[in-house]
């Protein structure tokens, strides 16, 4: 299931704006990799390029390679829709589909891919909700709309929805930034559990969170005002937070800027 990702010479653009410059990075499987860095440094942009969500934005373009277990997801013969089935994503703000019940939200990916078998959908629904630590809370109201849940529950619903299609990789774009501390804790616990089965990449503003949940940390920074963002360094989380290789990283971690 879980696969490794190798980013090679990745450049990202929004129209003429060069957003991220020449990122090369390896992300190991069954690990949590955190992307940290100041606002606008391109960490979310890099994350979105890992499942080809970057190109959804009009005018956005990509140069370079992203290898998933050695296969370039940007190869001309690759269908972006298939890439996104393999690499799931959880967003900053919980975004359950408002017209669907909790159950339909969870199995939306399968249903829209044409899975009709009721028993299969039931089974996936329960397994995914259990996987997202949400089953006990919602099992009695699976037919109620997903929008009626609390913010933290909605975010776990979105995680359940993402893992229901059984991806190899799970991308999380600041999944806790809209949540209160207790919900955040629930999600962080969940991330630690999920890494047994998935390769997880998480973007976070919160350095304590990166330190708590991740095995590896990549620090991104702007090379200057109006200049593209770049990868400064990536290493074991413990090393980055205790003994970073670059002064820039140390300054950021110790709160001297950003």
Partner 1 sequence: MTTTTSLDRPAAPQPFQRVSGARKLKDWVATILVGLAFVVAVIPLVWLLVTVITSGYRALMSSAWWTHSLKGVLPEEFAGGVYHAIIGSLLQSLVCAVIAVPVGVLAAIYLVEYGRGRVARMTTFMVDILSGVPSIVAALFIFALWIGTLGFQQSGFAVSLALVLLMLPVVVRSTEEMLRLVPQELREAAYALGVPKWKTIVRIVLPTAMSGIVTGVMLALARVMGETAPVLVLVGYSRSMNFNIFNGNMTSLPLLIYSELNNPTPAGQLRIWGAALTLIILVMSFNLVAVALSRFSAIKTK
Partner 2 sequence: MIGAMSDPLGNSLPARRPTVRRPGDTIFQFLTTASGLAIVLSIVLIGVFLLLKAVPSLAADQANFLLSPNFVTTGGKLAFGIRDLFVVTVLSSVFALVIAMPVAMGIALFLTQYAPRQLARPFAYIVDLLAAVPSVVFGLWGIKVFGPVLEPLERWLNGNLGWFPLFANGNVSISGGGTIFTAGVVLAVMLLPIITSVSREVFQQTPTMQIEGALALGATRWEMIRTTVIPFGRSGYIAASMLGLGRALGETVAVLIILRSAPEPSRISLFDGGYTFASKIASAASEFTEALPTGAYISAGLVLFVLTFVVNAIARWIAGGRVHRP
Name the CA dihedral angle for 41, 42, 44, 47, rounded to a multiple of 10 degrees.
-130
- Contact region with partner 2 (CB under 8 A), list: 10-18, 35-43, 113-121, 250-258: 10-18
Among 3, 43, 84, 195, binds partner 1 (CB under 8 A): 84
Per-residue buried b or exposed e for 221-255, using 16+ beta carbons within 10 Å of the residue's own CB: bbeeeeebbbbbbbbebeebbeebeeebbeebbee
**132 makes contact with partner 1 (CB under 8 A):** no
Q: Residue 103: count other Cβ atoms within 10 Å of its Cβ.
A: 20
**81 makes contact with partner 1 (CB under 8 A):** yes
* CB 153, CB 137: distance < 8 Å: yes
If the CB atoms of residues 82 and 123 are measured against partner 1, the closer one turns out to be 82
If the CB atoms of residues 66 and 138 are measured against partner 2, the closer one turns out to be 66
Query: What residues contact 204, with CB distance under 8 A and at least 6 apart?
Result: 34, 35, 36, 174, 176, 177, 210
**76 makes contact with partner 2 (CB under 8 A):** yes
Paired strand residues for 216: 33, 236
If the CB atoms of residues 1 and 113 are measured against partner 2, the closer one turns out to be 113
DSSP label at 92?
A: S
If the CB atoms of residues 14 and 97 are measured against partner 2, the closer one turns out to be 14
Among 9, 15, 40, 148, binds partner 1 (CB under 8 A): 148
Sheet holding 216-222, edge to edge: 71-72, 60-68, 5-14, 17-27, 229-236, 216-222, 32-36, 199-203, 169-173, 87-90
Residue 11 touches which of partner 1, partner 2, none (Cβ within 5-8 Å per kind): partner 2
Q: How far apart are the first and last CA of the chain?
A: 37
Among 85, 127, 205, 212, binds partner 1 (CB under 8 A): 85
**86 makes contact with partner 2 (CB under 8 A):** no
Among 81, 112, 182, 225, binds partner 2 (CB under 8 A): 81
Chain residues in the site for partner 1 (CB under 8 A)? 51, 53, 56, 58, 81-86, 88-89, 91, 93, 95-99, 108-109, 112-113, 145, 147-148, 158, 161-162, 165
Residues within the interface to partner 2 (CB under 8 A): 11, 13, 16, 55, 61-63, 74, 76-81
């Amino acid at each position: 299931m879980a696969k490794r990702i190798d980013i090679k010479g990745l450049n990202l653009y929004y129209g003429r704006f060069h957003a991220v410059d020449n990122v090369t990075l390896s992300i190991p499987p069954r690990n949590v990799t955190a992307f940290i860095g100041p606002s606008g440094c391109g960490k979310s942009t890099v994350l979105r390029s890992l499942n080809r969500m970057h190109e959804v934005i009009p005018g956005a373009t990509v140069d370079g390679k992203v290898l998933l277990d050695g296969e370039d997801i940007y190869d001309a013969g690759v269908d972006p829709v298939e890439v996104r089935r393999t690499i799931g994503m959880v967003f900053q703000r919980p975004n359950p589909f408002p017209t669907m019940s909790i159950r339909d939200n969870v199995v939306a990916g399968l249903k829209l891919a044409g899975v009709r078998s009721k028993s299969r959908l039931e089974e996936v629904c329960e397994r995914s909700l259990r996987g997202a630590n949400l089953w006990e809370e919602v099992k009695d109201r699976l037919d109620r709309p997903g929008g009626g849940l609390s913010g933290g529950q909605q975010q776990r619903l979105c995680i359940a929805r993402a893992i229901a299609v059984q991806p190899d990789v799970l991308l999380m774009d600041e999944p806790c930034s809209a949540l209160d501390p207790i919900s955040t804790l629930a999600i962080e616990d969940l991330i630690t559990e999920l890494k047994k089965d998935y390769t997880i990449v998480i973007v976070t503003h919160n350095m304590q969170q990166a330190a708590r949940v991740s095995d590896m940390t990549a620090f991104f920074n702007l090379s200057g005002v109006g200049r593209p963002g770049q990868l400064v360094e990536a290493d074991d989380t413990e090393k980055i937070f205790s003994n970073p290789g670059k002064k820039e990283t140390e300054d950021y971690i110790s709160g001297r800027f950003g």
